[in-house]
């Protein structure tokens, strides 16, 4: 079987973490099996389409590292790849279903349909079933929709890659609209036709689509098309087990948000791949290429996937550590520039700053917070740090000695500063933690931080001497 899979976004919104997972798993599946990955645009919900929705979807997929073989920009012989450009196909197959008796024209107005719905609700019906009022009506010169005639007492079953065998009964589904009065197809009808004509072999999508599957199977079976193999992935949930939705408060969910905060595309690719899939290894940090090699659809999970922001930060941190310095600088520079931090700094200073803080970064924008924490102030001693100094005999003597040595240095670089600290330690009999911790506290106000001599060098002599003096005043 030639593997052909698709990602079919609607331009009614922007690329969300759930949509991205669907695209990514289809991409991995296609690449793993040497197949084709198609991106088609399902743009028939005209009223809700966003002007830049298509551009956002495609540009962010590219940013993530997901490419495709066929789409609106890559013809593959089964286009067009926008549904609004395929209306003649939908009309053709809808008319074919009418001719075969599997569909019929429905002339009911919205008001009539609403009245039927109220009657059914009043009688205790839990769902709307169209009562086939127009089934045998002769053709009229009036607006009409086209309804699929659902077969009576028919069982629809399919083998799902993730959920095993899934069954539905036709009586649970009333005759449904396949073409609206405005000539636009409904989602399930257009989707089924497109999957058939584009020769889609496998459909991997979220389990919220599973109730759409029987309607799509009805259309495929009625027209004599081959069914694709389906795989419905479980929902993505938050840390409390609730469905991750576009209204889930403060949780970052749009791919553009991650990009804007300086998450690496390869790290986000890595993270999304582990939302509902597990590799055959204990490792969690993978490049996109390694994930393609390891991907196995049989390891897709049937359990909800938890969106763990901590794990995303961990993975992004690991990928940042793999960056060359030039790459890390390119990641961080825009954030430093946007805060005006680099205005009066030369490129060498920026490189040294990024080099110093790279090991502490979880994402690019964090460089600004780290800069302010260690370099910009306001300089204060944390409670734990103040208590440590107070309990360290000789701390004031050490800092006084070091202050004089730093003031006298000819060159204020990391090597000279390191020697000055060692000399102050020898002169005062301080060593180890009793030497380096008071110095760190006097410089940063904290007990943890980046490499001490390099941090002191970047701060500059004037700032360092001011901080040491302030710390000495505190001790006195």
Residues designated catalytic: 246
Q: Cβ distance 130 to 147 under 8 Å?
A: yes
CB count, 10 Å around CB of 450?
18
**254 forms bridges with which residues in the sheet?**
16
Distances (CA, A) of 389 to 262, 294, 325, 428, 470: 37, 52, 35, 15, 13
Please state, in angstroms and rounded to a whole number, the distance separating the CA atoms of residues 285 and 264.
13
Tokens 């760190």 correspond to what residue?
440
Please state, in angstroms and rounded to a whole number, the distance separating the CA atoms of residues 261 and 256.
9
Please state, in angstroms and rounded to a whole number, the distance separating the CA atoms of residues 268 and 380.
36
Say which DSSP state 317 is in.
H
Whether residue 378 has a cis bond before it, omega within 30° of 0:
yes
Straight-line distance from the first to the last Cα atom of the chain, in angstroms, rounded to the nearest whole number:
81
Q: Cβ distance 113 to 220 under 8 Å?
A: no
Please state, in angstroms and rounded to a whole number, the distance separating the CA atoms of residues 68 and 431.
60
Residue among 377, 405, 392, 342 nearest 470 (CA): 377
> What's the token pair of residue 462?
């004037």
Angle at 390 between CA 384 and CA 395, to 5 degrees: 115
Please state, in angstroms and rounded to a whole number, the distance separating the CA atoms of residues 58 and 56.
6
CB count, 10 Å around CB of 201?
19
Helices and strands (DSSP H and E) totals, the chain = 19, 11
* Alpha-helix runs per DSSP H in 8-109: 17-32, 53-64, 87-99
CB count, 10 Å around CB of 166?
16
Task: Tell me the residue ranges of DSSP E strands in 207-270.
Answer: 229-233, 236-237
Residue among 253, 255, 318, 305 nearest 277 (CA): 305
């Amino acid at each position: 079987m030639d593997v052909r899979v698709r990602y079919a976004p609607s331009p009614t919104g922007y690329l969300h973490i759930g949509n991205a997972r669907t695209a990514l798993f289809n991409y991995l599946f296609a690449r793993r099996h040497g197949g084709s990955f198609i991106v088609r645009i399902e743009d028939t919900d005209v009223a809700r389409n966003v002007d830049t929705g298509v551009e956002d979807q495609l540009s962010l997929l590219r940013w993530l590292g997901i490419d495709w073989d066929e789409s609106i920009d890559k013809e593959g012989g089964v286009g067009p790849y926008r549904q609004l450009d395929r209306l003649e196909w939908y009309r053709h197959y809808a008319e074919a279903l009418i001719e075969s008796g599997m569909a019929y024209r429905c002339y009911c107005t919205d008001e009539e349909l609403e009245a039927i719905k109220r009657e059914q609700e009043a009688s205790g019906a839990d769902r709307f079933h169209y009562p086939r009022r127009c089934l045998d009506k002769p053709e009229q010169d009036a607006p009409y929709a086209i309804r699929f005639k659902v077969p009576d007492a028919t069982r629809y079953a399919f083998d799902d890659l993730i959920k095993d065998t899934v069954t539905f009964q036709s009586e649970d589904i009333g005759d449904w609209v396949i073409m609206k009065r405005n000539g636009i197809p409904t989602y399930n009808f257009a989707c089924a036709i497109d999957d058939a004509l584009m020769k889609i072999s496998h459909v991997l999508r979220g389990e919220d689509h599973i109730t759409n599957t029987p309607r799509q199977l009805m259309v495929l079976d009625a027209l004599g098309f081959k069914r694709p193999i389906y795989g419905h992935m479980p929902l993505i949930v938050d840390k409390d087990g609730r469905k991750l939705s576009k209204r889930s408060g403060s949780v970052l969910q749009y791919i553009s948000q991650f990009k804007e905060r300086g998450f690496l595309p390869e790290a986000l690719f890595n993270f999304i791949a582990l939302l509902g899939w597990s590799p055959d290894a204990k490792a969690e940090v993978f490049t996109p290429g390694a994930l393609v090699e390891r991907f196995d659809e049989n390891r897709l999970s049937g359990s909800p996937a938890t969106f763990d922001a901590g794990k995303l930060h961990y993975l992004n941190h690991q990928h940042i550590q793999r960056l060359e310095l030039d790459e890390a600088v390119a990641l961080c520079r825009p954030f430093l520039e946007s805060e005006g931090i680099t205005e009066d700094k030369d490129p060498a200073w920026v490189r040294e700053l990024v080099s110093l803080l790279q090991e502490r970064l979880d994402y690019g924008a964090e460089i600004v917070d780290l800069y302010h924490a260690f370099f910009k102030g306001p300089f204060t001693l944390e409670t734990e740090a103040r208590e440590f100094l107070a309990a360290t005999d000789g701390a004031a003597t050490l800092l006084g000695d070091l202050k004089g040595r730093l003031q006298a240095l000819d060159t204020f670089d990391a090597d000279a500063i390191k020697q000055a600290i060692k000399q102050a330690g020898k002169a005062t009999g301080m060593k180890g933690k009793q030497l380096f911790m008071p110095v760190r506290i006097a410089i940063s106000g904290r007990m943890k931080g980046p490499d001490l001599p390099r941090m002191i060098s970047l701060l500059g002599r004037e700032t360092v001497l001011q901080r040491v003096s302030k710390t000495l005043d505190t001790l006195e």
